[in-house]
Amino acid sequence: MSAGWDPGHYTRYAAERDRPFAELMARVPELQPRRVVDLGCGPGHGVRWLADRWPGADVLGLDSSPEMVAAARDTAGAGSARAEVGDLVDWARGGPDEGEVDLLVTTATLQWVPGHLALLPDLVGRLRPGGVLAMTVPGNMGEPSHTLRRELAAQPRYAAHLAGVASPSAHDPADYLRVLSAAGCEVDAWETTYLHVLDPAGEDPDPVFTWVSATGARPTRQALPPGLREGFADELRAALRAAYPRTDAGVVLPFRRVFAVATRGSASG
């Protein structure tokens, strides 16, 4: 990804963003891992959790964003966990960091990798026999939070600036089950739709825009030149405000997440 990422903006809704990680890890089989890797570690909340859960393990967080890696290093503190800048695809296919992994975690990252179903066997190949790949991706690309951005970006005044800009894409649990099973894994796959109640205090007039502008909409906005960028943001704010009206509880953002936990068998890879 060429977009720069803002850890402070991303963690504005940290509790909602971290919840899928906790629920994913609750389904990981009992392990005593020696080596753990968090691919797309973001600001490092997962890295810290993994290091605290297995203090004797070598825990590595990898992310393509220098800003996120800097935040992850601060989050991890002075313990044994590390965070490094690196490319997920290069790592999956060997890269400079060789060796088998006991637990490979990736949360809200693979949706940014085009054709990532084809990458899953490579990720499984980095596991030792009996090792575990635990993954989750957003599954809400058909919701207004994404469709409105795509429709707006397709308008001629914006589209001329947006060729090749990263856009997230993911698959259904059955697709991950099929591919990971074919790679020689025992697979547990499922989905959950959260109802995130944003800004119950009414302090932010556009909380869904705040959410998406930290993630799915960020590369689109950054690719636009000044002037158009502000116009795009204003139009997207208005469209999201209409699609997600405020209720007595706050602004409700339905958010589907897709999960898979795959345990590599001795014959895979």
Domain count, the chain: 1
Tell me if 135 is assigned to some domain: yes
> What's the burial of 106, exposed, middle or buried (CB within 10 Å: 0-12/13-18/19+)?
buried
pLDDT in 10s for each residue of the chain, 269 residues: 345 555 555 556 778 888 999 999 999 999 999 999 999 998 899 999 999 999 999 999 999 989 889 999 988 876 779 999 999 999 998 854 557 899 999 999 999 999 999 999 999 999 999 999 999 999 999 999 999 999 999 999 999 999 888 888 999 999 999 999 999 999 999 999 999 999 999 999 999 999 998 787 788 888 999 989 999 999 999 999 999 999 999 999 999 999 999 999 974 44
137: region left, alpha or beta (phi > 0 left; psi from -120 to 50 alpha):
beta
**Residue 269 covered by a domain:** no
The reply to whether 2 falls in a domain is no
In a domain, 119, yes or no: yes
Is 165 among the domain residues? yes
In a domain, 43, yes or no: yes
pTM score, two decimals? 0.91
CATH at 121: 3.40.50.150
Residue 213 lies in a domain: yes
Chain centre distance of CA 174: 19
Residue 1 lies in a domain: no
* Contact present, 9 and 204 (Cβ < 8 Å): no
Domain that holds residue 27: 7-264
